[in-house]
Structure 1
Protein backbone atom coordinates (compact mmCIF):
# COMPACT_ATOMS: atom_id res chain seq x y z
CA UNK A 1 0.00 0.00 0.00
CA UNK A 2 2.99 2.35 0.19
CA UNK A 3 2.57 3.21 -3.50
CA UNK A 4 -1.08 4.14 -2.89
CA UNK A 5 -0.19 6.45 0.00
CA UNK A 6 2.57 8.01 -2.10
CA UNK A 7 0.10 8.80 -4.88
CA UNK A 8 -2.49 10.25 -2.50
CA UNK A 9 0.12 12.40 -0.75
CA UNK A 10 1.39 13.57 -4.13
CA UNK A 11 -2.09 14.58 -5.29
CA UNK A 12 -2.85 16.43 -2.06
CA UNK A 13 0.52 18.20 -2.10
CA UNK A 14 0.19 19.18 -5.76
CA UNK A 15 -3.29 20.62 -5.33
CA UNK A 16 -2.80 22.43 -2.04
CA UNK A 17 0.79 23.72 -2.12
CA UNK A 18 0.03 26.87 -4.10
CA UNK A 19 -3.66 27.32 -3.36
CA UNK A 20 -4.40 29.44 -0.25
CA UNK A 21 -5.80 26.47 1.69
CA UNK A 22 -2.71 25.08 3.50
CA UNK A 23 -0.77 22.11 2.15
CA UNK A 24 0.61 21.32 5.60
CA UNK A 25 -2.84 21.14 7.12
CA UNK A 26 -4.19 18.92 4.36
CA UNK A 27 -1.17 16.60 4.38
CA UNK A 28 -1.14 15.95 8.11
CA UNK A 29 -4.90 15.44 8.11
CA UNK A 30 -4.66 13.12 5.10
CA UNK A 31 -2.14 10.93 6.90
CA UNK A 32 -4.31 10.87 10.01
CA UNK A 33 -7.59 10.09 8.24
CA UNK A 34 -6.09 7.38 6.03
CA UNK A 35 -4.30 5.78 8.95
CA UNK A 36 -1.00 5.74 7.06
CA UNK A 37 1.14 3.15 8.89
CA UNK A 38 4.45 4.94 8.40
CA UNK A 39 6.45 6.12 11.39
CA UNK A 40 6.34 9.77 12.39
CA UNK A 41 9.83 10.35 10.99
CA UNK A 42 8.95 8.82 7.63
CA UNK A 43 5.71 10.82 7.28
CA UNK A 44 7.36 14.10 8.26
CA UNK A 45 10.25 13.59 5.86
CA UNK A 46 8.10 12.33 2.99
CA UNK A 47 5.75 15.32 3.25
CA UNK A 48 8.67 17.74 2.99
CA UNK A 49 10.54 15.90 0.24
CA UNK A 50 7.58 15.65 -2.15
CA UNK A 51 7.33 19.45 -1.97
CA UNK A 52 10.32 19.26 -4.27
CA UNK A 53 7.99 18.02 -6.99
CA UNK A 54 5.77 21.06 -6.59
CA UNK A 55 8.79 23.37 -6.70
CA UNK A 56 10.00 21.74 -9.90
CA UNK A 57 6.55 22.47 -11.31
CA UNK A 58 7.12 26.19 -10.68
CA UNK A 59 10.49 26.02 -12.45
CA UNK A 60 8.92 24.17 -15.38
CA UNK A 61 5.96 26.55 -15.65
CA UNK A 62 8.11 29.68 -15.54
CA UNK A 63 11.23 28.28 -17.23
CA UNK A 64 11.44 31.16 -19.69
CA UNK A 65 11.19 33.70 -16.88
CA UNK A 66 13.79 31.92 -14.78
CA UNK A 67 16.22 31.97 -17.70
CA UNK A 68 16.22 35.75 -17.37
CA UNK A 69 18.37 35.33 -14.27
CA UNK A 70 21.28 35.14 -16.74
CA UNK A 71 20.89 38.89 -17.13
CA UNK A 72 21.18 39.55 -13.41
CA UNK A 73 24.64 41.02 -13.81
CA UNK A 74 23.39 43.82 -16.06
CA UNK A 75 19.61 43.97 -15.58
CA UNK A 76 18.59 46.13 -12.62
CA UNK A 77 15.03 44.76 -12.54
CA UNK A 78 16.33 41.18 -12.26
CA UNK A 79 18.70 42.22 -9.47
CA UNK A 80 15.85 43.83 -7.54
CA UNK A 81 13.52 40.87 -8.10
CA UNK A 82 15.90 38.15 -6.92
CA UNK A 83 17.29 40.20 -4.06
CA UNK A 84 13.68 40.68 -2.96
CA UNK A 85 12.97 36.93 -3.19
CA UNK A 86 16.05 36.07 -1.11
CA UNK A 87 15.35 38.79 1.48
CA UNK A 88 11.75 37.62 1.79
CA UNK A 89 12.99 34.16 2.84
CA UNK A 90 15.02 35.46 5.78
CA UNK A 91 12.20 35.78 8.37
CA UNK A 92 10.97 32.22 7.74
CA UNK A 93 14.49 30.79 7.92
CA UNK A 94 15.21 32.52 11.22
CA UNK A 95 11.90 31.51 12.81
CA UNK A 96 12.20 27.97 11.50
CA UNK A 97 15.64 27.53 13.03
CA UNK A 98 14.60 29.05 16.36
CA UNK A 99 11.10 27.65 16.87
CA UNK A 100 10.46 24.98 14.22
CA UNK A 101 10.83 21.98 16.55
CA UNK A 102 8.76 23.58 19.31
CA UNK A 103 5.97 24.44 16.89
CA UNK A 104 5.86 20.87 15.56
CA UNK A 105 5.84 19.45 19.07
CA UNK A 106 3.01 21.63 20.32
CA UNK A 107 0.89 22.98 17.48
CA UNK A 108 0.59 20.20 14.90
CA UNK A 109 -2.88 19.16 16.04
CA UNK A 110 -6.15 18.93 14.06
CA UNK A 111 -7.84 21.55 16.25
CA UNK A 112 -5.02 24.03 15.63
CA UNK A 113 -5.19 23.37 11.89
CA UNK A 114 -8.98 23.73 11.93
CA UNK A 115 -8.90 27.12 13.63
CA UNK A 116 -6.11 28.28 11.32
CA UNK A 117 -8.27 27.37 8.34
CA UNK A 118 -11.30 29.16 9.79
CA UNK A 119 -9.48 32.32 10.88
CA UNK A 120 -7.56 32.47 7.61
CA UNK A 121 -10.81 32.09 5.68
CA UNK A 122 -12.40 34.97 7.58
CA UNK A 123 -9.35 37.16 6.95
CA UNK A 124 -9.40 36.34 3.23
CA UNK A 125 -13.10 37.25 3.05
CA UNK A 126 -12.61 40.54 4.89
CA UNK A 127 -9.60 41.56 2.79
CA UNK A 128 -11.38 40.71 -0.44
CA UNK A 129 -14.36 42.76 0.71
CA UNK A 130 -12.21 45.87 0.88
CA UNK A 131 -11.94 48.01 -2.24
CA UNK A 132 -8.21 48.63 -2.50
CA UNK A 133 -6.72 49.77 -5.79
CA UNK A 134 -3.45 47.88 -6.43
CA UNK A 135 -0.43 49.83 -7.63
CA UNK A 136 1.98 46.98 -8.45
CA UNK A 137 1.25 44.86 -11.53
CA UNK A 138 4.58 43.06 -12.06
CA UNK A 139 6.89 41.17 -9.72
CA UNK A 140 9.87 43.21 -10.96
CA UNK A 141 8.21 46.29 -9.44
CA UNK A 142 7.71 44.92 -5.92
CA UNK A 143 11.01 46.15 -4.49
CA UNK A 144 13.15 44.83 -1.65
CA UNK A 145 11.42 46.54 1.34
CA UNK A 146 7.99 45.32 0.25
CA UNK A 147 9.38 41.84 -0.43
CA UNK A 148 10.75 41.69 3.11
CA UNK A 149 7.34 42.61 4.53
CA UNK A 150 5.67 39.90 2.45
CA UNK A 151 8.26 37.44 3.80
CA UNK A 152 7.44 38.51 7.34
CA UNK A 153 3.71 37.96 6.76
CA UNK A 154 4.54 34.55 5.27
CA UNK A 155 5.75 33.51 8.73
CA UNK A 156 2.12 33.24 9.83
CA UNK A 157 2.10 29.86 8.12
CA UNK A 158 5.12 28.73 10.12
CA UNK A 159 3.81 30.00 13.45
CA UNK A 160 0.29 28.67 12.91
CA UNK A 161 0.09 25.28 11.13
CA UNK A 162 -2.83 25.27 8.73
CA UNK A 163 -2.78 28.98 7.96
CA UNK A 164 -1.08 28.40 4.57
CA UNK A 165 2.17 29.79 3.23
CA UNK A 166 0.49 30.67 -0.06
CA UNK A 167 -2.41 32.43 1.66
CA UNK A 168 -0.18 34.50 3.92
CA UNK A 169 2.24 35.55 1.16
CA UNK A 170 -0.51 36.29 -1.38
CA UNK A 171 -2.65 38.23 1.09
CA UNK A 172 0.39 40.05 2.42
CA UNK A 173 1.23 41.08 -1.11
CA UNK A 174 -2.30 42.28 -1.82
CA UNK A 175 -2.38 44.35 1.38
CA UNK A 176 0.89 45.94 0.27
CA UNK A 177 -0.51 46.96 -3.10
CA UNK A 178 0.08 44.00 -5.43
CA UNK A 179 -2.72 42.95 -7.74
CA UNK A 180 -3.92 39.34 -7.42
CA UNK A 181 -1.96 37.84 -10.35
CA UNK A 182 1.27 39.55 -9.24
CA UNK A 183 0.84 38.54 -5.59
CA UNK A 184 0.13 34.97 -6.69
CA UNK A 185 3.14 34.80 -9.01
CA UNK A 186 5.46 36.22 -6.34
CA UNK A 187 4.18 33.58 -3.93
CA UNK A 188 5.21 30.93 -6.48
CA UNK A 189 8.68 32.46 -6.80
CA UNK A 190 9.04 32.75 -3.04
CA UNK A 191 8.26 29.06 -2.66
CA UNK A 192 11.27 28.03 -4.76
CA UNK A 193 14.01 28.84 -2.20
CA UNK A 194 11.76 28.47 0.86
CA UNK A 195 10.31 25.05 0.10
CA UNK A 196 12.98 23.83 -2.31
CA UNK A 197 15.71 24.35 0.25
CA UNK A 198 13.74 22.52 2.94
CA UNK A 199 12.96 19.61 0.61
CA UNK A 200 16.58 19.24 -0.51
CA UNK A 201 17.91 19.45 3.05
CA UNK A 202 15.46 16.84 4.33
CA UNK A 203 16.26 14.51 1.44
CA UNK A 204 19.99 14.72 2.11
CA UNK A 205 19.61 14.28 5.87
CA UNK A 206 16.96 11.58 5.80
CA UNK A 207 17.76 9.24 2.92
CA UNK A 208 17.97 6.29 5.32
CA UNK A 209 14.52 7.10 6.73
CA UNK A 210 12.96 7.30 3.28
CA UNK A 211 14.54 3.96 2.39
CA UNK A 212 11.90 2.38 4.66
CA UNK A 213 9.24 3.00 2.02
CA UNK A 214 11.52 2.73 -1.01
CA UNK A 215 13.10 5.24 -3.37
CA UNK A 216 10.52 4.31 -6.02
CA UNK A 217 7.65 5.43 -3.80
CA UNK A 218 9.42 8.68 -2.98
CA UNK A 219 9.91 9.41 -6.67
CA UNK A 220 6.30 8.41 -7.34
CA UNK A 221 4.98 10.85 -4.75
CA UNK A 222 7.23 13.65 -6.00
CA UNK A 223 6.31 12.91 -9.62
CA UNK A 224 2.58 13.00 -8.93
CA UNK A 225 3.09 16.21 -6.97
CA UNK A 226 4.93 17.74 -9.95
CA UNK A 227 2.19 16.95 -12.46
CA UNK A 228 -0.71 18.01 -10.24
CA UNK A 229 1.08 21.18 -9.06
CA UNK A 230 1.84 22.18 -12.66
CA UNK A 231 -1.84 21.92 -13.52
CA UNK A 232 -2.81 23.74 -10.32
CA UNK A 233 -0.49 26.67 -11.07
CA UNK A 234 -2.05 27.23 -14.48
CA UNK A 235 -5.56 26.91 -13.11
CA UNK A 236 -4.93 29.31 -10.20
CA UNK A 237 -3.42 31.98 -12.45
CA UNK A 238 -6.43 31.81 -14.76
CA UNK A 239 -8.78 31.88 -11.78
CA UNK A 240 -7.28 34.95 -10.07
CA UNK A 241 -7.23 36.91 -13.32
CA UNK A 242 -11.02 37.18 -13.18
CA UNK A 243 -12.05 36.13 -9.65
CA UNK A 244 -11.45 36.97 -6.01
CA UNK A 245 -10.21 34.53 -3.36
CA UNK A 246 -13.61 34.42 -1.62
CA UNK A 247 -14.39 30.84 -2.76
CA UNK A 248 -11.22 29.70 -0.98
CA UNK A 249 -12.35 31.59 2.13
CA UNK A 250 -15.62 29.66 2.14
CA UNK A 251 -13.83 26.35 1.54
CA UNK A 252 -11.43 26.98 4.43
CA UNK A 253 -14.22 27.76 6.90
CA UNK A 254 -16.27 24.73 5.84
CA UNK A 255 -13.30 22.34 6.12
CA UNK A 256 -12.28 23.85 9.44
CA UNK A 257 -15.78 23.38 10.87
CA UNK A 258 -15.92 19.79 9.59
CA UNK A 259 -12.61 19.01 11.30
CA UNK A 260 -13.88 20.43 14.60
CA UNK A 261 -17.05 18.33 14.30
CA UNK A 262 -14.99 15.19 13.61
CA UNK A 263 -12.89 15.92 16.69
CA UNK A 264 -15.95 16.57 18.85
CA UNK A 265 -17.58 13.31 17.74
CA UNK A 266 -14.40 11.28 18.29
CA UNK A 267 -13.98 10.38 14.63
CA UNK A 268 -10.71 12.29 14.45
CA UNK A 269 -8.11 12.26 17.18
CA UNK A 270 -6.80 15.63 18.34
CA UNK A 271 -3.38 14.19 19.11
CA UNK A 272 -0.15 15.64 17.77
CA UNK A 273 0.15 14.91 14.05
CA UNK A 274 3.82 15.80 13.66
Structure 2
Protein backbone atom coordinates (compact mmCIF):
# COMPACT_ATOMS: atom_id res chain seq x y z
CA UNK A 1 0.00 0.00 0.00
CA UNK A 2 2.96 2.34 0.36
CA UNK A 3 4.02 4.06 3.58
CA UNK A 4 1.18 2.43 5.55
CA UNK A 5 -0.30 -1.07 5.47
CA UNK A 6 -4.07 -1.46 5.33
CA UNK A 7 -4.27 -2.42 9.00
CA UNK A 8 -2.03 0.45 10.10
CA UNK A 9 -4.23 2.89 8.17
CA UNK A 10 -7.40 1.42 9.75
CA UNK A 11 -6.01 1.45 13.30
CA UNK A 12 -4.80 5.07 13.05
CA UNK A 13 -8.14 6.11 11.49
CA UNK A 14 -10.10 4.41 14.31
CA UNK A 15 -8.01 6.34 16.84
CA UNK A 16 -8.67 9.58 14.91
CA UNK A 17 -12.42 8.97 14.77
CA UNK A 18 -12.64 8.06 18.45
CA UNK A 19 -10.57 10.94 19.76
CA UNK A 20 -11.11 13.88 17.37
CA UNK A 21 -14.14 15.22 19.21
CA UNK A 22 -13.22 13.98 22.69
CA UNK A 23 -11.07 16.26 24.90
CA UNK A 24 -8.14 13.84 24.90
CA UNK A 25 -6.11 15.01 21.85
CA UNK A 26 -6.57 13.09 18.62
CA UNK A 27 -3.19 14.24 17.31
CA UNK A 28 -1.49 13.08 20.49
CA UNK A 29 -3.18 9.69 20.34
CA UNK A 30 -2.26 9.21 16.68
CA UNK A 31 1.39 10.02 17.46
CA UNK A 32 1.32 7.48 20.31
CA UNK A 33 -0.38 4.93 18.04
CA UNK A 34 2.23 5.42 15.30
CA UNK A 35 5.00 4.81 17.83
CA UNK A 36 3.29 1.68 19.17
CA UNK A 37 2.85 0.35 15.62
CA UNK A 38 6.44 1.22 14.73
CA UNK A 39 5.27 3.43 11.84
CA UNK A 40 7.99 5.75 10.57
CA UNK A 41 7.01 9.43 10.64
CA UNK A 42 7.41 10.07 6.90
CA UNK A 43 6.02 13.09 5.07
CA UNK A 44 3.06 11.01 3.93
CA UNK A 45 2.31 9.65 7.41
CA UNK A 46 2.29 13.21 8.78
CA UNK A 47 -0.05 14.21 5.95
CA UNK A 48 -2.22 11.11 6.49
CA UNK A 49 -2.95 12.04 10.13
CA UNK A 50 -4.16 15.47 8.96
CA UNK A 51 -6.02 14.43 5.80
CA UNK A 52 -8.14 11.74 7.50
CA UNK A 53 -9.58 14.51 9.69
CA UNK A 54 -11.68 15.30 6.62
CA UNK A 55 -13.63 12.09 7.23
CA UNK A 56 -14.18 13.08 10.84
CA UNK A 57 -15.53 16.55 9.97
CA UNK A 58 -17.99 15.02 7.50
CA UNK A 59 -19.54 13.23 10.47
CA UNK A 60 -20.33 16.62 12.06
CA UNK A 61 -21.94 17.89 8.84
CA UNK A 62 -23.93 14.64 8.60
CA UNK A 63 -25.18 14.65 12.21
CA UNK A 64 -25.92 18.38 12.37
CA UNK A 65 -26.77 19.11 8.73
CA UNK A 66 -30.04 20.94 9.55
CA UNK A 67 -28.21 23.29 11.89
CA UNK A 68 -25.06 23.54 9.79
CA UNK A 69 -26.81 24.54 6.57
CA UNK A 70 -29.00 27.33 7.85
CA UNK A 71 -29.50 31.06 7.42
CA UNK A 72 -30.71 33.52 10.03
CA UNK A 73 -34.24 34.53 9.05
CA UNK A 74 -34.91 36.77 12.06
CA UNK A 75 -35.22 40.50 11.27
CA UNK A 76 -31.96 42.47 11.32
CA UNK A 77 -31.65 45.23 13.95
CA UNK A 78 -33.31 48.51 13.01
CA UNK A 79 -30.99 50.92 11.26
CA UNK A 80 -28.60 48.16 10.19
CA UNK A 81 -26.47 48.86 7.12
CA UNK A 82 -26.51 46.63 4.02
CA UNK A 83 -23.35 44.89 5.22
CA UNK A 84 -24.80 44.35 8.70
CA UNK A 85 -28.01 42.91 7.21
CA UNK A 86 -25.93 40.57 5.04
CA UNK A 87 -23.83 39.42 8.00
CA UNK A 88 -27.00 38.99 10.06
CA UNK A 89 -28.42 36.63 7.44
CA UNK A 90 -25.23 34.57 7.40
CA UNK A 91 -24.73 35.01 11.16
CA UNK A 92 -23.83 31.36 11.88
CA UNK A 93 -21.12 31.20 9.20
CA UNK A 94 -19.78 34.66 10.05
CA UNK A 95 -19.20 33.64 13.67
CA UNK A 96 -17.51 30.42 12.58
CA UNK A 97 -15.22 32.50 10.36
CA UNK A 98 -14.42 34.90 13.22
CA UNK A 99 -13.55 31.93 15.47
CA UNK A 100 -11.52 30.26 12.70
CA UNK A 101 -9.28 33.24 11.82
CA UNK A 102 -6.81 33.08 14.78
CA UNK A 103 -5.90 29.42 14.14
CA UNK A 104 -5.72 30.01 10.37
CA UNK A 105 -3.22 32.84 10.78
CA UNK A 106 -1.03 31.15 13.40
CA UNK A 107 -1.24 27.77 11.64
CA UNK A 108 0.03 29.34 8.41
CA UNK A 109 2.83 31.27 10.14
CA UNK A 110 4.09 28.39 12.29
CA UNK A 111 3.34 25.38 10.10
CA UNK A 112 6.92 24.05 10.14
CA UNK A 113 7.27 24.37 13.92
CA UNK A 114 3.94 22.59 14.43
CA UNK A 115 5.11 19.78 12.12
CA UNK A 116 8.31 19.44 14.16
CA UNK A 117 6.33 19.05 17.40
CA UNK A 118 4.26 16.28 15.78
CA UNK A 119 7.27 13.98 16.13
CA UNK A 120 7.60 14.43 19.90
CA UNK A 121 5.97 11.82 22.12
CA UNK A 122 7.39 13.66 25.15
CA UNK A 123 5.46 16.85 24.29
CA UNK A 124 2.27 14.81 23.86
CA UNK A 125 2.68 12.99 27.18
CA UNK A 126 3.43 16.16 29.17
CA UNK A 127 0.50 18.06 27.65
CA UNK A 128 -1.85 15.12 28.26
CA UNK A 129 -0.99 15.26 31.96
CA UNK A 130 -1.18 19.06 32.25
CA UNK A 131 -4.48 19.17 30.36
CA UNK A 132 -5.82 16.28 32.43
CA UNK A 133 -5.08 18.05 35.71
CA UNK A 134 -6.87 21.14 34.43
CA UNK A 135 -9.89 19.08 33.35
CA UNK A 136 -10.34 17.71 36.87
CA UNK A 137 -11.25 21.23 37.97
CA UNK A 138 -12.71 22.88 34.85
CA UNK A 139 -16.30 21.86 35.70
CA UNK A 140 -15.94 23.51 39.09
CA UNK A 141 -14.32 26.60 37.56
CA UNK A 142 -16.78 27.22 34.73
CA UNK A 143 -20.03 25.29 35.20
CA UNK A 144 -21.50 27.51 37.90
CA UNK A 145 -21.55 30.46 35.54
CA UNK A 146 -22.67 28.49 32.47
CA UNK A 147 -26.01 29.38 30.97
CA UNK A 148 -27.89 29.36 27.68
CA UNK A 149 -25.89 32.16 26.06
CA UNK A 150 -25.74 33.33 22.47
CA UNK A 151 -22.41 33.03 20.68
CA UNK A 152 -21.57 36.64 19.81
CA UNK A 153 -18.70 37.76 17.55
CA UNK A 154 -16.60 38.59 20.61
CA UNK A 155 -17.25 35.19 22.20
CA UNK A 156 -16.55 33.42 18.90
CA UNK A 157 -13.20 35.20 18.54
CA UNK A 158 -12.29 34.34 22.13
CA UNK A 159 -13.07 30.65 21.51
CA UNK A 160 -10.91 30.90 18.38
CA UNK A 161 -7.99 32.15 20.47
CA UNK A 162 -8.38 29.15 22.76
CA UNK A 163 -8.30 26.88 19.72
CA UNK A 164 -4.76 28.11 18.93
CA UNK A 165 -3.47 26.48 22.13
CA UNK A 166 -4.35 23.11 20.57
CA UNK A 167 -1.58 23.53 18.00
CA UNK A 168 0.62 22.00 20.69
CA UNK A 169 0.23 18.21 20.30
CA UNK A 170 -1.47 16.67 23.32
CA UNK A 171 -3.55 19.72 24.24
CA UNK A 172 -6.73 18.71 22.29
CA UNK A 173 -8.57 21.07 19.97
CA UNK A 174 -11.85 19.85 21.41
CA UNK A 175 -10.79 20.54 25.00
CA UNK A 176 -9.38 23.98 24.17
CA UNK A 177 -12.47 25.18 22.30
CA UNK A 178 -14.96 23.70 24.79
CA UNK A 179 -13.12 25.35 27.69
CA UNK A 180 -13.05 28.55 25.65
CA UNK A 181 -16.81 28.31 25.19
CA UNK A 182 -17.47 27.58 28.86
CA UNK A 183 -15.29 30.53 29.84
CA UNK A 184 -17.72 32.63 27.76
CA UNK A 185 -20.67 31.33 29.83
CA UNK A 186 -21.83 28.66 27.36
CA UNK A 187 -23.22 25.42 28.79
CA UNK A 188 -21.15 22.25 28.37
CA UNK A 189 -23.49 21.04 25.62
CA UNK A 190 -23.52 24.34 23.71
CA UNK A 191 -19.75 24.73 24.04
CA UNK A 192 -19.21 21.17 22.77
CA UNK A 193 -21.52 21.67 19.78
CA UNK A 194 -19.88 24.96 18.80
CA UNK A 195 -16.54 23.15 19.07
CA UNK A 196 -17.84 20.54 16.61
CA UNK A 197 -19.03 23.21 14.16
CA UNK A 198 -15.73 25.09 14.42
CA UNK A 199 -13.89 21.86 13.63
CA UNK A 200 -15.35 21.86 10.11
CA UNK A 201 -13.62 24.98 8.68
CA UNK A 202 -10.53 24.45 10.86
CA UNK A 203 -9.84 20.86 9.86
CA UNK A 204 -10.96 21.34 6.27
CA UNK A 205 -8.43 24.17 5.94
CA UNK A 206 -5.71 22.07 7.60
CA UNK A 207 -6.43 19.18 5.22
CA UNK A 208 -6.49 21.41 2.12
CA UNK A 209 -3.28 23.17 3.18
CA UNK A 210 -1.47 19.89 3.80
CA UNK A 211 -2.54 18.48 0.40
CA UNK A 212 -1.59 21.70 -1.39
CA UNK A 213 1.80 21.81 0.36
CA UNK A 214 2.50 18.22 -0.67
CA UNK A 215 1.61 19.02 -4.28
CA UNK A 216 3.82 22.12 -4.33
CA UNK A 217 6.70 20.16 -2.77
CA UNK A 218 6.44 17.54 -5.51
CA UNK A 219 4.55 15.01 -3.40
CA UNK A 220 1.91 14.15 -6.02
CA UNK A 221 3.39 10.67 -6.46
CA UNK A 222 3.32 10.10 -2.69
CA UNK A 223 -0.41 10.86 -2.57
CA UNK A 224 -1.16 8.71 -5.63
CA UNK A 225 0.84 5.75 -4.28
CA UNK A 226 -1.03 5.94 -0.96
CA UNK A 227 -4.49 6.81 -2.30
CA UNK A 228 -6.08 3.60 -0.97
CA UNK A 229 -4.76 4.35 2.54
CA UNK A 230 -6.29 7.84 2.40
CA UNK A 231 -9.67 6.54 1.21
CA UNK A 232 -9.78 3.80 3.85
CA UNK A 233 -8.64 6.24 6.55
CA UNK A 234 -11.32 8.81 5.76
CA UNK A 235 -14.15 6.27 5.58
CA UNK A 236 -13.16 4.65 8.89
CA UNK A 237 -12.66 8.02 10.62
CA UNK A 238 -16.11 9.14 9.41
CA UNK A 239 -17.95 6.08 10.74
CA UNK A 240 -16.15 5.99 14.10
CA UNK A 241 -16.51 9.76 14.64
CA UNK A 242 -20.29 9.51 14.14
CA UNK A 243 -20.51 7.15 17.10
CA UNK A 244 -18.01 9.10 19.20
CA UNK A 245 -19.89 12.41 18.86
CA UNK A 246 -23.19 10.89 20.01
CA UNK A 247 -21.49 9.27 22.99
CA UNK A 248 -19.57 12.41 23.97
CA UNK A 249 -22.53 14.81 23.96
CA UNK A 250 -24.58 12.44 26.12
CA UNK A 251 -21.71 11.68 28.53
CA UNK A 252 -20.36 15.20 29.01
CA UNK A 253 -23.86 16.66 29.53
CA UNK A 254 -24.48 14.19 32.36
CA UNK A 255 -21.06 13.72 33.95
CA UNK A 256 -18.76 16.56 32.90
CA UNK A 257 -15.05 16.28 32.10
CA UNK A 258 -13.48 14.67 35.19
CA UNK A 259 -13.35 11.15 33.68
CA UNK A 260 -11.50 12.50 30.63
CA UNK A 261 -9.10 14.33 32.94
CA UNK A 262 -8.18 11.13 34.80
CA UNK A 263 -7.81 9.29 31.49
CA UNK A 264 -5.38 11.92 30.18
CA UNK A 265 -3.32 11.85 33.40
CA UNK A 266 -3.07 8.04 33.41
CA UNK A 267 -2.11 7.73 29.72
CA UNK A 268 0.33 10.66 29.80
CA UNK A 269 1.82 9.52 33.11
CA UNK A 270 2.40 5.95 31.90
CA UNK A 271 4.14 7.20 28.76
CA UNK A 272 6.41 9.54 30.77
CA UNK A 273 7.33 6.70 33.15
CA UNK A 274 8.09 4.35 30.22
CA UNK A 275 10.26 6.95 28.50
CA UNK A 276 12.13 7.80 31.72
CA UNK A 277 12.81 4.09 32.21
CA UNK A 278 14.28 3.91 28.71
CA UNK A 279 11.49 1.82 27.20
CA UNK A 280 10.21 2.26 23.64
CA UNK A 281 6.47 2.58 22.97
CA UNK A 282 6.78 0.23 20.01
CA UNK A 283 4.86 -2.99 20.70
CA UNK A 284 4.03 -4.22 17.20
Contact persistence 2:117–2:169 (CA under 8 A) = no
- Segments of 5+ residues of structure 1 without an aligned counterpart are 270-274
Q: Distance in 1 between matches of 2:199 and 2:117?
A: 25
Q: Distance in 1 between matches of 2:239 and 2:203?
A: 17
Contact persistence 1:81–1:142 (CA under 8 A) = no
- Segments of 5+ residues of structure 2 without an aligned counterpart are 77-84, 215-219
Residue 58 of structure 1, aligned match among 49, 57, 60:
60
Matches within 5 A, 1:41-56: 41-56=43-58
Q: Distance in 1 between matches of 2:88 and 2:19?
A: 30
Q: Distance in 1 between matches of 2:151 and 2:72?
A: 20
Matches within 5 A, 1:71-90: 79-90=90-101
Q: Distance in 2 between matches of 1:182 and 1:77?
A: 20
Aligned partner of residue 68 in structure 1, secondary structure: coil
Contact persistence 2:72–2:92 (CA under 8 A) = no
1:219-273 CA distances to partner (integer Å, 9 max, x unpaired)?
A: 011100000001111111111221111100000000110110121122237xxxx
RMSD (Å), alpha carbons = 2.3
Contact persistence 1:53–1:223 (CA under 8 A) = yes
2:11 maps to which residue?
Answer: 8
1:135-180 CA distances to partner (integer Å, 9 max, x unpaired)?
A: 335xxx211100000100111111x211010000001111110100
Q: Shift of residue 107 of structure 1? A: 6.6
1:31-71 CA distances to partner (integer Å, 9 max, x unpaired)?
A: 1110125x510111111110000011111111111231486
The answer as to 2:172 corresponding to 1:170 is no
Residue 209 of structure 1, aligned match among 202, 205, 222:
222
2:245 maps to which residue?
Answer: 233
Contact persistence 1:80–1:144 (CA under 8 A) = no
Matches within 5 A, 1:17-166: 17-37=20-40, 40-69=42-71, 79-106=90-117, 108-130=119-141, 132-137=144-149, 141-158=150-167, 160-166=168-174
Query: Under a length normalisation based on structure 2, what TM-score does the superposition of the two structures give?
Result: 0.86
Distance 1:77 1:183, change over 3 A: farther
**Structure exhibiting the larger radius of gyration computed from Cα positions:** 2
The answer as to 2:258 corresponding to 1:246 is yes
Residue 189 of structure 1, aligned match among 197, 201, 205:
197
Query: Under a length normalisation based on structure 1, what TM-score does the superposition of the two structures give?
Result: 0.89
Which 10-residue stretch deviates more, 173-182 or 124-133? Answer: 124-133
